[in-house]
Amino acid sequence: MNAASMAAVYHGERVGGDFYDFIRVAPHLVLFGLLDVAGKHQENQNIVSAAQKTFRSVGLQLFSREDINEANAMIELSLQLNRTIMSAAAGVRSCPAFVGCYNESLGTVCYSNAGHTPALLRDSTGITALPATGLPFGLFSHVTHDAPTAALEPGAALLLVSRGVMEGRANGEEFGLARVEAALMQAAITSAEQLCGDILDAAEQFTKEPHAENDVTALALLRAAVAKAAGLSQ
């Protein structure tokens, strides 16, 4: 299998509804996600908890099957997460989310981007954005999501940042996606954790102060430049 590493980093105390998770669901598959439940941390803890429970239990059930079709499993997981969030919220509660499944054997990520900020894939060709494939979770009971697949060549990096990173402001201007892309392109990547930290540091240097009004979270997946007989490390 191709070696890879994954990490998530956040700065400051939790004030909003960001949460991330990753779990091995099969010998060659790792499920990961970054979700942002609307509202303050104190008022949405039960929603976050319910969504995380579904992510882990349903994700393991769907992706551990021997006859798995990754796209179909991702679409079903998205439906279940959407229903869980609406049920826990007892109504509408917007939850942009990016959920992906990394296939170590193939070096691919099958994903659902539910109205989240685009994931950014850096490889030898530059940076490719993986935009929304559907609406945020928690808005409509029968919403559907596509589940495309992206290939990570050896040495590629996949980066996710929360809305709080994008919305950091200085002199009335947001940090924005273009600056996240520039920071990713300029990064000398040594590890997934280091990459996340560098991106959050760049956002704070732009705003000149730590974020206080929203969660700031980054998640990165790196595929090793050289194939090794090793699994995914966390």
- Residue 163: the pLDDT is 87
Give CA 175 to chain center in angstroms: 19
- Residue 214: the pLDDT is 67
- Residue 227: the pLDDT is 52
For tokens 């989310």, what's the residue? Answer: 97
For residue 1, give Cα distances in angstroms to 20, 49, 63: 25, 33, 18
Q: Which domain holds residue 150?
A: 4-226
For residue 81, give both structure tokens: 């997460």
- Residue 158: the pLDDT is 97
- Residue 58: the pLDDT is 97
Total count of domains within the chain = 1
* Residue 185: how many other CB atoms lie within 10 Å: 11
The answer to whether residue 115 sits within a structural domain is yes
The answer to whether residue 57 sits within a structural domain is yes
For residue 157, give both structure tokens: 């990096």
The answer to whether residue 166 sits within a structural domain is yes
The answer to whether residue 86 sits within a structural domain is yes
The answer to whether residue 232 sits within a structural domain is no
User: Could you tell me the strand order of the sheet in which 108-114 lies?
Assistant: 18-26, 29-36, 97-103, 108-114, 149-151
Q: What is the CATH number of the domain that holds 169?
A: 3.60.40.10
For residue 210, give both structure tokens: 């730590």
The pLDDT averaged over each successive group of 10 residues in the chain (234 residues) is 78 67 94 88 84 96 93 97 95 94 95 96 96 94 90 95 85 88 92 93 82 77 71 48
The answer to whether residue 233 sits within a structural domain is no
The answer to whether residue 154 sits within a structural domain is yes
- Residue 228: the pLDDT is 47
The answer to whether residue 234 sits within a structural domain is no
